[in-house]
């Protein structure tokens, strides 16, 4: 691999004049003549002044034309469409780790001139988001060289290519320009804008060397000019492993990785056969095969069944009863429970037969008998250890069948406690001194539910739904039992008029401010129902919302509870096993009754 001279660092001399003048020099005479692997030569022009836009433009024009033929679109397993760059004449391709899932997958490579090549995926370091693929059709192929390690710095001008929004007929991969904002060991941040489809596309220095590949956009704000790229350092650091087809998460001994799998698998050995994945199935038309750069008509797509994950569940009866989190499965069509036996999946349609709204628990029924089930009378499965005597710091383990990580664990964070529902708002200030004739409105907050339906100052709320309201205390008490999203029908006296207004309660503004994006779980998100529980224990296991509803066990395999909500970045809630058993017994009794006779459970 040829070694290109690096771009010279800026040397700025401040002059104490009325107008500060910065000198800039283009060292064309000293440019290094570099011979690439295909025998061509190119000038590596060094730019001493990065603020000389004309010089930067000239170099980008030259390097963009030289590098564009090496930029490829990737279609992996005829599904994932992304970008990449060829870095050797025999067809080695760099791309992003999230583009590939494993080694040996079929890949189609689409060149800007319309040529199509075929190959396979190689290795992927998911931690660094770096991956390789290889064109197996005979070459040689146009390519761009990889830069050496650490040959870039903050303020360097760069340009990126990628198939923004996917492969588009008669459109080559668009070019974007920018500068390096931040350099980290495996990551480069720039202000080159990228979007879906650009993943894996190359980031070049002005000399036309690959210094990284497009990885992701910033989640910290809405600006389009904050972009992260996998540094070329990551590819050099893991070059042999990637080339050999190894796929791995990280070499670090984090708590969710392979180093602990043996211990954790033993902890969930008994409970795993009782743990099921719950989702819904829908039928969609399969996209027609072939890429959209081919202009011939494609045959109609074939129907395919799509499974969407919603929650985990625990089998509580051998004749097909399964307990799960209600908030993630209610009002879902075509519910399906996925059972895994000896590595083989079996899918059964499921029907919801009873719900406990206080604990957000649901009981499902599938047409299957002879199932391994939670035994409430077993000392091992029905541990009576109450969460309030579990020492803080006790390890807890959650099996996640068909999850990205099969087993995760955390620690008890807070002793058993209740989680009150967040008081919702309607967006009014109420006169606390008035008594009788309704709750008098002092002020309506802008952009609130009350403002949206036209509630005004001096209006008196005399009834909410079927409850009479005489004063501020009555209204406050009613709202304390209301959840955000509940529909409220207000009866309002305005002078001599009686009006009816219908609105939906919103999350209280101070609560919304506290629950900022970071606290709401980051990329994981949070459960739909995450408060209002009479009794839970809190632990720090980082679960997806769709991984709630299943069992929580101790290191020795005892059932401690059921994960019921992902409530924030640092908090997951579980219903203690003793309470869970009571809920299941009541739900099973209710399931035997006709639907018309169902009544809400009495909660503590």
Q: Which of 252, 197, 229 is nearest to 75 (CA)?
A: 197
**Pairwise CA distance, residues 272 & 264, whole Å:** 11
pLDDT digits (tens, 9 = 90+) for 462-504: 999 988 998 887 887 788 777 777 888 999 999 899 999 998 8
Which band of pLDDT confidence, cut at 50, 70 and 90, is reported for residue 139? confident
What is the pLDDT confidence band of residue 393, given thresholds at 50, 70 and 90? Answer: confident
Mean pLDDT in residue range 288-316:
64
Taking the CA atoms of the chain, what radius of gyration do you get in angstroms?
A: 30
DSSP letter at 32 equals E
* Distance from C-alpha of 277 to C-alpha of 324, rounded to nearest angstrom: 10
- Burial category of 146 from C-beta neighbours within 10 Å (exposed 0-12, middle 13-18, buried 19 and up): buried
Return the ∠ at Cα 487 (arms to 481 and 493), rounded to 5°. Answer: 90
Averaged pLDDT of the chain: 79
Cα(378)–Cα(357) distance, rounded to whole angstroms?
A: 27
**Residue ranges of E strands in 252-334:** 275-285, 303-317, 321-325
Is pLDDT above 90 for 353?
yes
Q: What is the C-alpha separation between 463 and 491, in angstroms, rounded?
A: 5
Position 602 scores a pLDDT of 41
- pLDDT tens-place string over residues 97-124: 999 878 999 999 999 999 999 999 999 9
- At 522 the pLDDT is 52
The pLDDT value recorded for residue 569 is: 79
Q: Which range has the worst mean pLDDT, 40-54, 210-224, 336-350? A: 40-54
Mean pLDDT of 242-252: 80
pLDDT score of 140: 94
Where does residue 495 rank: exposed (0-12), middle (13-18), buried (19+ CB within 10 A)?
A: exposed
pLDDT at residue 73 tops 90: yes
The pTM of the full predicted model, rounded to 2 decimals, is 0.55
- Which of the given ranges, 12-21, 162-171, 320-329, 384-393, has the highest pLDDT on average? 320-329
Average pLDDT over residues 229-240: 95
Question: What separation in angstroms does the CA of 525 have from each of 230, 409, 521, 528, 594?
Answer: 25, 18, 5, 9, 37
**Which of 90-99, 143-152, 216-225, 538-547 is the least confident region?**
216-225
Q: Averaging pLDDT over each range in 23-27, 31-35, 68-72, which range is the top one?
A: 68-72
Q: Are 399 and 275 in contact (CB under 8 A)?
A: yes
79 falls in which pLDDT band (50, 70, 90)?
A: confident
**Of the segments 279-293, 337-351, 408-422, 553-567, which one has the largest average pLDDT value?**
553-567
Strands 106-110 and 92-96: unpaired
H or E element at residue 62: helix 53-67
What mean pLDDT do residues 307-334 have?
A: 92
Q: Are 276 and 546 spatial neighbours (Cβ–Cβ below 8 Å)?
A: no
Q: Residue range 195-217: average pLDDT? A: 93
Q: What is the pLDDT of residue 300?
A: 52
pLDDT of residue 283: 77
For the chain, the distance separating the N- and C-terminal CA atoms, rounded to the nearest angstrom, is 71
Quote the CA–CA distance of 297 and 555 in Å, as a whole number.
58
**252 has pLDDT over 80:** no
């Amino acid at each position: 691999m040829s070694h290109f001279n690096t771009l010279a660092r800026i040397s700025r001399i401040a002059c104490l004049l009325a107008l500060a003048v910065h000198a800039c020099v283009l060292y064309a005479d000293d440019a290094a003549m570099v011979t690439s692997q295909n025998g061509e030569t190119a000038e590596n022009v060094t730019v001493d002044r990065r603020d000389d836009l004309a010089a930067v433009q000239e170099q980008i024009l030259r390097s963009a034309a030289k590098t564009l033929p090496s930029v490829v679109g990737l279609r992996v397993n005829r599904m994932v469409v992304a970008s990449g760059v060829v870095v050797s004449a025999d067809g080695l391709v760099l791309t992003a780790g999230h583009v590939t899932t494993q080694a040996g997958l079929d890949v189609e490579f689409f060149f800007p001139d319309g040529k199509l090549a075929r190959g396979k995926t190689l290795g992927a370091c998911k931690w660094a988001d770096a991956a390789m693929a290889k064109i197996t059709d005979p070459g040689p192929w146009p390519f761009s060289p990889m830069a050496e390690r650490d040959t870039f710095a903050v303020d360097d001008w760069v340009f990126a290519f990628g198939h923004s929004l996917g492969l588009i007929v008669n459109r080559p991969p668009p070019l974007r320009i920018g500068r390096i904002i931040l350099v980290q060991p495996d990551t480069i941040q720039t202000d080159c804008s990228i979007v879906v489809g650009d993943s894996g596309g190359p980031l070049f220095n002005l000399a036309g060397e690959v210094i990284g590949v497009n990885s992701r956009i910033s989640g910290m704000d809405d600006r389009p000019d904050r972009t992260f790229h996998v540094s070329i350092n990551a590819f050099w650091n893991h070059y042999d492993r990637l080339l050999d087809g190894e796929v791995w998460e990280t070499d670090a001994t984090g708590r969710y990785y392979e180093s602990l799998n043996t211990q954790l698998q033993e902890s969930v050995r008994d409970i795993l056969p009782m743990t099921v994945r719950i989702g819904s199935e829908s039928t969609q038309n399969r996209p027609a095969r072939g890429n959209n750069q081919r202009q011939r008509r494609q045959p109609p797509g074939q129907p395919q069944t799509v499974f969407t994950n919603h929650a985990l569940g625990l089998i509580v009866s051998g004749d097909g009863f399964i307990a799960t989190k209600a908030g993630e499965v209610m009002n879902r069509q075509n519910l399906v429970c996925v059972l895994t036996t000896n590595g083989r999946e079996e899918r059964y349609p499921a029907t919801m037969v009873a719900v406990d709204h206080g604990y957000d628990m649901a009981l499902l029924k599938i047409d299957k008998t002879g199932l391994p089930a939670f035994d409430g009378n077993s000392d091992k499965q029905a541990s009576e250890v109450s969460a309030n005597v579990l020492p803080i710091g006790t390890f807890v383990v959650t099996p996640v069948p068909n999850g990205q990580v099969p087993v995760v664990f955390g620690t008890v964070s807070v002793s058993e406690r209740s989680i009150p529902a967040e008081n919702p708002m309607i967006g009014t200030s109420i006169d606390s001194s008035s008594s009788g004739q309704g709750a008098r409105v002092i002020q309506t907050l802008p952009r609130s539910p009350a403002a949206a339906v036209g509630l005004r100052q001096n209006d008196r709320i005399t009834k909410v739904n079927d409850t009479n309201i005489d004063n501020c205390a009555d209204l406050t008490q009613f709202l304390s039992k209301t959840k955000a999203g509940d529909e409220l029908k207000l009866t309002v006296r305005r002078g001599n008029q009686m009006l009816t207004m219908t609105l939906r309660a919103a999350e209280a503004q101070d609560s919304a401010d506290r629950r900022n994006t970071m606290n709401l779980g980051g990329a994981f998100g949070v459960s739909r129902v995450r408060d209002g529980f009479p009794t839970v224990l809190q632990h720090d296991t980082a679960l997806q919302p769709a991984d709630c509803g299943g069992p929580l066990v101790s290191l020795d395999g005892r059932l401690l509870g059921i994960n019921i909500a992902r409530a924030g970045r640092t908090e997951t809630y579980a219903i203690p096993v003793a309470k869970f058993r009571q809920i299941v017994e009541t739900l099973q009794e209710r399931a035997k009754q006709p639907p018309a006779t169902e009544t809400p459970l009495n909660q503590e």
